[in-house]
Amino acid sequence: MAGYLDHIAIERGLSSNTVAAYRRDLRRYVGWCEERERDIEAVTENDVADFAASLRQGQEEVPALGPASAARVVVSVRTFHRFAAREGLTPTDPARDVRPSAIPRRLPKALPYEDVAALIENAGDADSAEGLRDRALVEFLYGTGTRVSEAVDLDVDDVDLEALTVVVTGKGDKQRLLPLGTLAADALSAYLVRGRPALAPRGRGTPRLFLNSLGRPLSRQSAYGVLRQAATRAGLTAKVGPHTLRHSFATHLLQNGADVRVVQELLGHASVSTTQIYTMVTVDTLREVYATSHPRAR
């Protein structure tokens, strides 16, 4: 397993978060095989299929997984066995014909723009360094549609406030150049001038853009906390996280006429099919407007 993890980290260049997810999935698989005294080199297609079925059922000490999580684990096992067979570590690929269960396609939950505006207004107090950081973080997440991991991994030098651009490193260490809206740029400027200089001396020195109260890089968990607190102050009842702002970013762009392939580039999706789920949201909006506005639609 270690050789495979090295392969996806070094040769395929997958992110540390993705490699960690593969590691968790494969530990679960190896543990399942060991409990049944199945050697990885000798497992059969039926064994892999039984493991896939067990993911949705759960066990005493291992909780059942939802459709998306179970499908991800099966994909991890399939790619692991494909690698092992290709490298001659196993005689066959027993997972080749085992398919993950179909995942119900759920529409992403986007906030109305009014709720996003309220969230931003309640994100932070301009009188404190942490407040300036929080306001800049929320403005940035909504203004760019970046993943939370991409935001907290940013360095100061990645942001060009004069050109109104930011260089973001996404999945597979692929970089993309994104435009910065003026409101996000203004919030970042205020944080860089009055917020970050107050936080940085508390730590040991780091190029990271967003810092915590100890002057260390802000974690993903802390970023979630920033949004939860802002949502509470704004009186929002919907569950709000960084991905909510990413969904809202994409949905609002498409609702206002943006081309789906442009949105794909901004989001950093490898395939336009991933982005097209957001077009389902806009079609639903059109259908609702039609149903309430056309005299012959009721």
Quote the Cα angle for 201-206-212, to 5°: 65
Question: Pick the catalytic residue: 133, 147, 208, 252?
Answer: 147
Residue 137: is it exposed, middle or buried by C-beta count within 10 angstroms (0-12/13-18/19+)? buried
Is residue 171 annotated as part of the catalytic site, yes or no? Answer: yes
294 as an active site residue: the answer is no
Catalytic entry in 7, 194, 216, 243: 243
Our answer to whether residue 109 is catalytic in this structure is: no
Which one, of 193, 197, 158, lies nearest residue 178 by Cα? 158
Residue entry with tokens 């107050």? 198
| 243 belongs to the catalytic site | yes
The catalytic residue among 38, 171, 176, 216 is: 171
H helix or E strand, kind and range, residue 160: strand 159-160
Active-site option among 28, 72, 81, 269: 269
Name 177's bridge partners. Answer: 167
The question of whether 113 is a catalytic residue gets the answer no
**Residue 36 bears catalytic tag:** no
- How many CB atoms within 10 Å of residue 13? 12
Q: Mapping DSSP to helix (H, G, I), strand (E, B) and coil, where does residue 217 land? A: strand
Report long-range pairs for 24-28 (Cβ below 8 Å, ≥24 apart): 25/72, 25/73, 25/76, 25/77, 26/1, 26/76, 26/77, 26/80, 28/62, 28/73
Q: Which among 28, 196, 246, 247 is annotated as catalytic?
A: 246
The residues, any chain, with a CB within 8 Å of residue 169's CB and separated by 6 or more, are 150, 153, 175
What positions carry a catalytic annotation?
A: 147, 171, 243, 246, 269, 278
